[in-house]
Amino acid sequence: MKLCTFAVPTSLGPQTRIGVAAAGGIVDATSAVITHLERTYSPEGAARIGHARAPTDMIALIGNGGDTLDLVGESVEAVSASGQAQTAMGEKTFYQVGDVELRAPILTPPGISCFITWPAHIEDSREKGFAMLNFPEKDGDLRAYYKGHTGSIGHPGQTIPMPPYATDMDIECEMAAVIGVGGKDLSREQAKQAIVGYTIFNDVSYREIQAREMAFGLGPTKGKDADFSNVMGPWLVTADEVGDPQKLRMSIDINGEEKSSYNTSGMVWGFDDLASYLSRGQTLRPGHVLTSGNYPGGSALDLGIKLGSGDKVTLKIEKLGAQSNTIG
């Protein structure tokens, strides 16, 4: 399934819901489950159970486990086949994409772990002002990552504002895995099962600040952390639909022109390895985001170009879709 978080206007302001991509639009996951349950329960009972089984928050939904996702998938298929427009109590089941605002699929992740998995990107960055960077031994037991700011989530389609302390905004095309039920001290196979799905991740960066702060052996901090600098989405595609995450084409378009492409097969370590490493002595909770790092050529820094205000950047990953944002 292709899951999303979307906002609909209400008298109390935008309300976020969970959607599933379907022919012609988006099926509301909670409403679909309620209509499915109405075959067995009263409208009131179906609504109560439906909201508990398929909550309108993505972290709560994926934290309920695979049985819940199976129920959502079955319910969405039934609603799509029947064309039922609303639940018995009037909750809408279907939306046109143009009638809603797509948000990041995970709005409040419990953690963001940004790994490096592409040696060529590190080598290239060392030649462009980041001589302090090194890549871990490929056969060693360490995996390098930094902690992204979980309060700096950006959304597909929005303009990313330049923070007042920076003058140079860059983008990074990355793939991200999202933890479902989670766990601790996971084997690689257990870690693979703990990953509920994948999404596109733009690790927005402010290079002149990043280079200065990393010279102290810490960070990046403000070189990465500003409002909306961790852009996710629009889709969280379930692991079963993605298949092998290490066989996907990635690319960057700037103002409609493709500037670079690569393949996730170039990652030194797969997401199961990264999730297993991260779970050592640490409980991974539903919604934790693990990123692949930037592929070689997957940023303006790598490409030797500068992005300007008004530039439209589109990140594409095979099976995950496309994410577009405008530079502010």
pLDDT in tens, 84-97: 999 999 999 999 99
CB 324 within 8 A of CB 312: yes
pLDDT at 218: 81
How far the first Cα of the chain sits from its last, in Å, is 32
Across residues 45-55, what is the average pLDDT?
97
Across residues 42-47, what is the average pLDDT?
97
pLDDT in tens, 260-286: 999 999 999 999 999 999 999 999 999
CA distance 94 to 273: 38
Residue 57 has pLDDT above 90, yes or no: yes
Please give the share of the chain, as a percent, with pLDDT higher than 70.
100
Amino acid identity at 238: T
Would you say how long the chain is, in residues? 328
- The whole-model pTM stands at 0.95
pLDDT at 215: 81
Pick the more confident residue, 189 or 129.
189
CB 132 within 8 A of CB 36: no
Across residues 49-57, what is the average pLDDT?
97
CB 290 within 8 A of CB 176: yes
Pairing of strands 230-232, 153-154: parallel
Tell me which H or E stretch contains 34.
helix 29-37
pLDDT at 126: 76
Q: How confident is the model at residue 127 (pLDDT cuts 50, 70, 90)?
A: confident
Amino acid identity at 5: T
Across residues 8-21, what is the average pLDDT?
92
pLDDT at 39: 94
> Which backbone phi and psi does 179 adopt, to 5 degrees?
-75, 140
Point out which residues pair with 198 in neighbouring strands: 177, 237
pLDDT at 120: 79
CA distance 67 to 217: 45
pLDDT at 310: 98
Residue 124 has pLDDT above 90, yes or no: no
- DSSP letter for each residue of 53-100: HS-SSHHHHHHT-HHHHHHHHHHHHHHHHHT--B-TT--B-EE-GGGS
Residue 12 has pLDDT above 90, yes or no: no
pLDDT at 216: 82
CB 203 within 8 A of CB 224: yes
CA distance 134 to 142: 12
pLDDT at 219: 79
Residues 6+ apart with CB under 8 A from 34: 46, 47, 50, 51, 87, 89, 91
Domains of the chain, first to last: 2-102 (2.30.30.230), 104-327 (3.90.850.10)
Reduced to 3 states (helix: H, G, I; strand: E, B; else coil), residue 209 is helix
Across residues 44-61, what is the average pLDDT?
97
Please give the share of the chain, as a percent, with pLDDT higher than 90.
86
